[in-house]
C-alpha cells in the first residue's frame, strides 16, 4: 500500500493577482489561512484553478515556495508541475521539490498529446527523476488526452505515482481503475459534483474548486463518507450541487474568482486569454451564493 497524501478535500486554490497583474502574495497567504481554519485538508497550488498555465516559470516557483513556507507544515502542499514538455515537467518538479512540496500534481500532456504508450513513457521518465510523490491529473476536457484503466494499472506500479485526480467524468472507467489498482493508487474526485460517487468506489477525497468559496462544505462531503456517514455525505453533496455546477458556469477559475470577489476577497482578475464573466452569468452565480448564505443580497 502506497502513502496517502491526504484524505478529505484539497483546495485547488486560485492565484490572486494585484491590479498590475502580479501575484498577490499577501492575499494568497490570507486565502491559505482561511482554508486551513475552515478544515481544508491540503493546498493544491499552481493547478488549473491557480492559472498555472499563465504563470511565468519564476512566478510558478515563487508561488509554490510561498505556499509551502506559509502553510508551514500545517497541511500538505501539492504543487502543480505538469507539462506537455516532459523535460520541463521534470525541471519544474525538481524546483518544487527544492521548495519542499509534499507532492506533485501532474497533468497529462496537452495539445501535442500522446498515445497510451507515450503516457507511460512520459510519466516513467518523470518518476525516475523525482523523489516526491506524484498525483496524476486526468482532465480530458482540457487536454484532449485520457488515461485508460489499463494505463493506470501500469502507472500505479511506478514507485512515486501514488494517486490521481480524476476529472474525466466517466464513473464506469473510474470503477475499473479502482478495481485494477487497489491500494496502489489513491483516487481523488476532480469534479465537485461527483465526490460521493467516487468515494463509494473507494476514493480518498476531492481536489476541489468548491473549497475556494465553501471550504468546510468541501471538507465535510468526503469526510462524512469516510466516517461511515454516507447518507449525510450524499445529502450535503446534493444540497450544494447547484453551487458545484455554477462554479463551472464559465471556464474555471473565472467563476471561482468572481465568487470570491463577491465574498469580499481581493483576488484580482483572471489572466488572458481568460476573461470576466458576462453579466447574466455573474447574476446567476450571485443568486446561488445568496441562496447558500455565502453573501447577502
137 flagged as catalytic = yes
| CA dihedral angle for residue 274, residue 276, residue 281, residue 287, rounded to 10 degrees | 120
Instruction: Write down the pTM of the prediction.
Output: 0.97
Average pLDDT rounded to a whole number, residues 150-176: 98
pLDDT in tens, 105-158: 999 999 999 999 999 999 999 999 999 999 999 999 999 999 999 999 999 999
Q: Give the pLDDT of residue 1.
A: 75
Gyration radius of the chain's alpha carbons: 18
Mean pLDDT of the chain: 98
Contact 243, 210 (CB under 8 A): yes
How far apart (Å, rounded) are the C-alpha atoms in residues 260 and 146? 31
Q: Which domains does the chain have, with CATH numbers?
A: 8-240 (3.20.20.70)
CA 144 to chain centre: 18
Q: Give the pLDDT of residue 62.
A: 98
Sign of the alpha-carbon dihedral angle for 215, 221, 227, 231: positive
165 flagged as catalytic = yes
Catalytic choice (123, 152, 165, 257): 165
The residue to which cell 482561511 is assigned? 34
Composition of the chain by helix, strand, coil, percent to 5: 50, 15, 40
DSSP letter for 17, please.
B
- Model confidence band, residue 63 (pLDDT cutoffs 50, 70, 90): very high
Catalytic choice (137, 152, 188, 225): 137
Contact 47, 12 (CB under 8 A): yes
DSSP letter for 148, please.
-
Confidence check: pLDDT of 214 > 90: yes
Amino acid at each position: 500500500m502506497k502513502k496517502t497524501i491526504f484524505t478529505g478535500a484539497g483546495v485547488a486554490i486560485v492565484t490572486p493577482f494585484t491590479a498590475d497583474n502580479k501575484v498577490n502574495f499577501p492575499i494568497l497567504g490570507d486565502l491559505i489561512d482561511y482554508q486551513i481554519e475552515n478544515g481544508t485538508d491540503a493546498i493544491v497550488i499552481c493547478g488549473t484553478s491557480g492559472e498555472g498555465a499563465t504563470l511565468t516559470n519564476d512566478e510558478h516557483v515563487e508561488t509554490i515556495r510561498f505556499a509551502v513556507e506559509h502553510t508551514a507544515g500545517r497541511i500538505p502542499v501539492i504543487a502543480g508541475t505538469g507539462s506537455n514538455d516532459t523535460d520541463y515537467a521534470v525541471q519544474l518538479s525538481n524546483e518544487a521539490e527544492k521548495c519542499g512540496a509534499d507532492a506533485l500534481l501532474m497533468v497529462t500532456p496537452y495539445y501535442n498529446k500522446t498515445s497510451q504508450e507515450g503516457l507511460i513513457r512520459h510519466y516513467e521518465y518523470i518518476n525516475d527523476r523525482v523523489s516526491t510523490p506524484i498525483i496524476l491529473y486526468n482532465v480530458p476536457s482540457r487536454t484532449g488526452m485520457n488515461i485508460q484503466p489499463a494505463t493506470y494499472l501500469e502507472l500505479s506500479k511506478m514507485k512515486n505515482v501514488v494517486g490521481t485526480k480524476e476529472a474525466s467524468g466517466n464513473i464506469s472507467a473510474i470503477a475499473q481503475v479502482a478495481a485494477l489498482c487497489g491500494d496502489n493508487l489513491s483516487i481523488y474526485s476532480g469534479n465537485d459534483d461527483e465526490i460521493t460517487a467516487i468515494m463509494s468506489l473507494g476514493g480518498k477525497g476531492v481536489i476541489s474548486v468548491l473549497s475556494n468559496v465553501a471550504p468546510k462544505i468541501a471538507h465535510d462531503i468526503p469526510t462524512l463518507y469516510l466516517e461511515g456517514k454516507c447518507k449525510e455525505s450524499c445529502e450535503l453533496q446534493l444540497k450544494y450541487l447547484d453551487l458545484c455546477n455554477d462554479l463551472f458556469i464559465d471556464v474555471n477559475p473565472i467563476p471561482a474568482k468572481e465568487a470570491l470577489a463577491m465574498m469580499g476577497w481581493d483576488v484580482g482578475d483572471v489572466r488572458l486569454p481568460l476573461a470576466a464573466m458576462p453579466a447574466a452569468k455573474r447574476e446567476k452565480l450571485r443568486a446561488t451564493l445568496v441562496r447558500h448564505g455565502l453573501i447577502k443580497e
